[in-house]
Amino acid sequence: MVESQSSTRRHVTESELRALVRRGFGDRTGVTDWRELTGGTYNAAYAVTLGENTELVLKVAPPPELELLRHEVDLMRTEVDFHRRAARVGAAVPEVVYADFTRDLIGTDFVFLSRIPGTDLQRRRDELTPAQLAAVRAEIAAQAARLHTVTGPAYGYPLRESRSWQPSWRAAFGAMVDDILADAVRLGSALPAPPDRIGDLLRRHADVLDEVRRPALVHFDLWDGNVFVAADPAGTVRLTGLIDGERAFFGDPLAELVSMTLHRELDDEPEILAGYASAGHGRLELTGPARRRLTLYTIYLYLIMCIEGATRGWNSPERAERERWLVGRLEAQLDRLDRVRQ
């Protein structure tokens, strides 16, 4: 699939770009260079240079009239809120330079962010030695621990009229699951079991969610494409920043491990839990109930990944093949949960 052709990406013309720059930085600010960034499938994004050397990223939200997944409402506002909260605790995230939610210039939200130096880990990881990669993954986990010190006012997805905004994590996660399964029904998504049966299975294990007593800020999209790295002056490859916080919610810190180990096994990477503990903000203990929670969150992420393509305007053999593969991964997680004796 060609990511830049996603129907959610609201592309801007040069004249529109200059109007956005004028809005944010005044009439005297010139655009030295700009180019579209690829790699994402939701927002449109551009590398923009203002004046001699002010390097920013412009992100443009999808047109608000598009019918997307139920939790994909005003995600750019979530991203701006996430970055501001994360910056206050010293996390390595882009600075929100200018955000505009009036929708009067191009009909949708946009934000200018500082540009994180380096290259995303997805592109760099094959160049790294196992020791280098382990060190970077430990840094990612330490940054996640810092994020998780932020406590929200409730659980679930913030900044919208979301059914998931609840006083308990069990209620919030239950609403999140119900919403994505309703999306599956609406979109006719192929799943390994009927949506109501999947919902029933997850509800049977909802008791383990009551262990979560504080709504922590969770990025929930820390796969390698959203982690930037670069070599420092000594040649050591280091984490430079975490991007794309629009999928954030307030909930269980343990959920962060799902995207951090996407399509990999956490038990094979002990540096992640060690790196988390090294930040000094607490530890993540993989008890039996905690592992059940991890399975619940993995199922939830796979549900999103199986379903979201139908809202992106992709109709290709590549999409069909990938979704078949994802359905197999989802089925394995459902079987794992179904085998657990409560």
Q: pLDDT for 98-127, tens place per residue?
A: 999 999 999 999 999 999 999 999 999 999
In sequence order, what DSSP letters do the residues of 289-316 get, joined into one string?
HHHHHHHHHHHHHHHHHHHGGGGTT--S
Higher pLDDT, 155 or 342: 155
For residues 113 and 99, give the distance between their C-alpha atoms in angstroms, rounded to a whole number. Answer: 8
Q: Can you list the domains of the chain with their CATH numbers? A: 3-114 (3.30.200.20), 119-338 (3.90.1200.10)
Cβ 150 vs Cβ 85: under 8 Å: yes
**How many whole angstroms separate alpha carbon 85 and alpha carbon 73?**
19
Give tens-digit pLDDT for 160-193. Answer: 778 999 999 999 999 999 999 999 999 999 999 9
Task: Please report the pLDDT score of residue 7 as a whole number.
Answer: 83
List strand residue ranges (DSSP E) for the chain, in order: 31-37, 44-50, 54-60, 96-100, 110-114, 119-120, 216-218, 227-231, 237-242, 249-251
Average pLDDT, the chain: 94
pLDDT (0 to 100) of residue 1: 35
Smallest CA-to-CA distance from 37 within 19, 63, 56, 50 is with 56
300: left (phi over 0), alpha (psi -120 to 50) or beta: alpha
| Percentage of the residues of the chain whose pLDDT score is greater than 70 | 98
* Mean pLDDT within 227-245: 95
Give the pLDDT confidence score for residue 2 in this predicted structure: 39
Residues of the chain with pLDDT > 90: what percent? 88
Q: Which two tokens stand for residue 305?
A: 């990944």
pLDDT confidence band for 3 (50 / 70 / 90)? very low
Across the range 43-51, mean pLDDT stands at 95
Question: Distance between CA atoms of 81 and 289, rounded to whole angstroms?
Answer: 31
pLDDT of 159 reads 75
d(CA 91, CA 164): 26
pLDDT of 4 higher than 50: no
Residue 316 has pLDDT above 90, yes or no: no
The angle, 0 to 180 degrees and rounded to 10, between the axes of the packed helices 195-204 and 288-307 is: 160
Least confident range from 4-8, 138-142, 322-326: namely: 4-8
**Alpha carbon 340 to its chain's center:** 28
| pTM of structure | 0.95
Residues 160 and 181: their CA atoms lie apart, in Å, by 19
**Res 5 pLDDT > 70:** no
Closest CA to 81 of 174, 139, 147, 11: 147
- For the cut 60, the answer to whether the pLDDT of residue 150 exceeds it is yes
pLDDT of residue 256 exceeding 90, the answer is yes
Mean pLDDT of 147-172: 94
Beta carbons within 8 Å of 129's beta carbon, 6+ residues apart? none
